[in-house]
């Protein structure tokens, strides 16, 4: 299947293309060149052409891509119509911000519930999303066929919560805690460590300053 041969870096970029093409389609644009996409998305145009070449014959040289056709193709490819249900565990500051954000820009993901152990938070709602006690995770995950859990718990709770998520049958984890844990092969974990990212950026700015624009 073509999907299996797709390089992971390309697969990661497809939702970006999809979102931008949706915008173009909404304003009635029928055609787009790889140069225009490159400018808007800050991705090298050769990379864009290569990404699209994995998907088959999608455009003609000098003509660009047909927005509607590309959009339909990517929608099917990404199964944008299939909603992936997501839960969030740890409704603190970061967790609350993510619940409020609720990934509205993407139509195919939806946070269906939040979980916490704080009795003051359990039973409340954040932007209409109910907050349940952690011991109801399995039941809610089963009911909503949950694919992904976002972890925004403190470091000391990460291991226990990780185990709970795995035993609830959830296969995808977006881990915002700095803890790295070993998980079974059928579970996929992506780590997002905002503090380290910020510190790394500052380190690079200090030690390898970007070139002066005027030079
Ligand atoms: P706040 O100020 O609301 O406590 P915070 O982001 O500073 O937010 P953290 O200590 O990082 O607080 O905790 C994040 C959230 O994780 C809190 O709401 C806390 O109640 C919750 N939490 C802690 N342990 C667990 C656990 N084992 N399972 C689920 N949630 C937990």
Q: What is the ipTM of this complex?
A: 0.93
pLDDT at 213 (0 to 100):
64
User: Could you tell me if 103 and 109 are in contact, meaning their C-beta atoms sit under 8 angstroms apart?
Assistant: yes
State mean pLDDT over 106-117: 88
List pLDDT tens digits, range 178-191. Answer: 998 888 999 999 99
Q: Which domain holds residue 31?
A: 2-76
State mean pLDDT over 129-140: 97
Whether 69 and 153 map to the same domain: the answer is no
User: What domain count does the chain have?
Assistant: 2
Strands (E), the chain: 31-32, 59-60, 64-66, 84-89, 109-116, 125-126, 129-133, 146-151, 172-175, 188-191
Residue after which a domain boundary falls, among 53, 76, 99: 76
Residue 144 is assigned to a structural domain of this protein: yes
CATH number at residue 60: 1.10.10.10
Residue after which a domain boundary falls, among 76, 105, 136: 76
Instruction: Indicate the pLDDT class of residue 4, thresholds 50, 70 and 90.
Output: very low
User: Could you tell me if 175 and 149 are in contact, meaning their C-beta atoms sit under 8 angstroms apart?
Assistant: no
Most informative mutation of 87, 89, 92 for ligand 1 (most atoms within 8 A of CB): 92
Neighbour tally for 2: CB within 10 Å:
9
User: Could you tell me if 18 and 71 are in contact, meaning their C-beta atoms sit under 8 angstroms apart?
Assistant: yes
The residue behind tokens 């995950």 is 141
CA-156 nearest atom, ligand 1: 24
């Amino acid at each position: 299947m073509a999907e299996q041969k797709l390089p992971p870096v390309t697969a990661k970029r497809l939702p970006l293309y999809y979102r931008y093409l949706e915008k173009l389609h909404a304003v009635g644009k029928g055609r787009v060149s790889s140069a225009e996409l490159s400018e808007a998305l800050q991705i090298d145009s050769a990379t864009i052409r290569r990404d699209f070449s994995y998907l088959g014959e999608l455009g003609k040289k000098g003509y660009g891509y047909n927005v509607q056709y590309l959009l339909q193709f990517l929608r099917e490819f990404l199964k944008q119509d299939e909603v992936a249900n997501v839960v969030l565990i740890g409704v603190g500051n970061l967790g609350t911000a993510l619940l409020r954000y609720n990934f509205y820009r993407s139509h195919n993901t939806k946070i269906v519930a939040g979980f916490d152990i704080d009795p003051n938070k359990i039973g409340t709602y954040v932007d209409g999303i109910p907050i349940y006690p952690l011991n109801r995770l399995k039941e809610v995950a089963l009911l909503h066929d949950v694919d992904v859990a976002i972890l925004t718990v403190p470091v000391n709770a990460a291991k226990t919560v990780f185990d709970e998520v795995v035993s609830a049958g959830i296969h995808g984890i977006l881990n915002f805690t700095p803890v790295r844990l070993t998980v079974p092969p059928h579970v996929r974990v992506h780590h997002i460590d905002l503090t380290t990212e910020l510190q790394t950026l500052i380190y690079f700015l200090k030690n390898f300053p970007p070139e002066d624009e005027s030079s």
